[in-house]
């Protein structure tokens, strides 16, 4: 119930290509779905986030697509660049206690080839 | 405005020793979260604290682990009698009280604990 399943585990994309990372959840109480980007030796940094009242959110080259009925959401990175090479985590939280207690996916290691 | 500060960045402890990890939240943030990241895995929630209160410790191991966030000073995650399985990156995040769509939690750079 509390899991967030993320795939693929690793991804290699050519420069300029589209990177797609998928996540699925079970707990319908989740109401906030952020994506975090983590470079080696650094802490996770918020990339983009979505709430279930919208089906898509776009910020620059990054887009979240959200399918509430399927309980799935995905991150699309358009025109992928070598600087995007990092590990990406999806996460989810519920409104309980109004906290940032996140359930994280297991991560996707993205490598963008120059 | 400095970000979330964690120290030390790297910590090596022998089995059986104590490890103390510190987290200074961003200015104005009164909520602190600790997460653990095992190698090649995602972050796992450990504990959520507000000043002088533990709000949710559902992710904390039952033994050897404790956390505090005193009125003054940083939040401390303490691991007593460390074992090799405690080797991981420990991340702290801080936030102000959550307002729908208005705020986020910011993560520190982590403390990488190695138990030898």
The alpha carbon of residue A49 is apart from the nearest alpha carbon of chain B, in Å, by 9
The alpha carbon of residue B98 is apart from the nearest alpha carbon of chain A, in Å, by 6
- pLDDT, one tens digit per residue, over A10-23 is 999 999 999 999 99
d(CA B106, CA B25): 9
Identify which of A46, A2, A9 has the alpha carbon closest to the alpha carbon of residue B44: A2
| Pair of tokens at residue B10 | 């790297």
Question: Does residue B99 register a pLDDT over 70?
Answer: no
- pLDDT, one tens digit per residue, over A36-86 is 999 998 899 999 999 888 999 999 999 999 999 999 999 999 999 999 999
The contact set of A with B (CB < 8 A) is 6, 34, 36, 41-46, 49, 51, 89, 97-107
- What Cα–Cα distance (Å) separates residue B47 from each residue in A29, A45, A98, A102? 20, 19, 15, 11
d(CA A77, CA A30): 24
């Amino acid at each position: 119930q509390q899991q967030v399943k993320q795939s693929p585990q690793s991804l290699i994309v050519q420069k300029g290509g589209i990177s797609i990372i998928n996540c699925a959840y079970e707990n319908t109480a989740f109401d906030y779905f952020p994506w975090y980007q983590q470079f080696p030796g650094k802490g996770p940094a918020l990339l983009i986030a979505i709430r279930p009242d919208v089906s898509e959110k776009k910020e620059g080259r990054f887009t979240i697509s959200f399918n509430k009925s399927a309980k799935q959401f995905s991150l699309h990175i358009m025109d992928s660049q070598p600087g995007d090479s990092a590990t990406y985590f999806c996460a989810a939280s519920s409104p309980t206690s109004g906290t940032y207690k996140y359930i994280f996916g297991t991560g996707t290691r993205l490598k963008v080839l120059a | 405005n400095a970000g979330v500060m964690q120290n030390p960045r790297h910590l090596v402890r022998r089995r059986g020793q104590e490890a103390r990890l510190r987290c200074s939240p961003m200015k104005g943030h009164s909520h602190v979260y600790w997460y653990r990241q095992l190698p090649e895995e995602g972050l796992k929630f450990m504990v959520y604290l507000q000043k002088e209160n533990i709000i949710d410790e559902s992710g904390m191991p039952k033994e050897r682990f404790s956390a505090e966030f005193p009125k003054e000073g940083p939040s401390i995650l303490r691991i007593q009698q460390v074992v090799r399985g405690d080797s991981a990156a420990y991340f702290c995040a801080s936030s102000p009280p959550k307002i729908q769509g208005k705020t986020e939690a910011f993560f520190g750079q982590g403390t990488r604990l190695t138990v030898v």
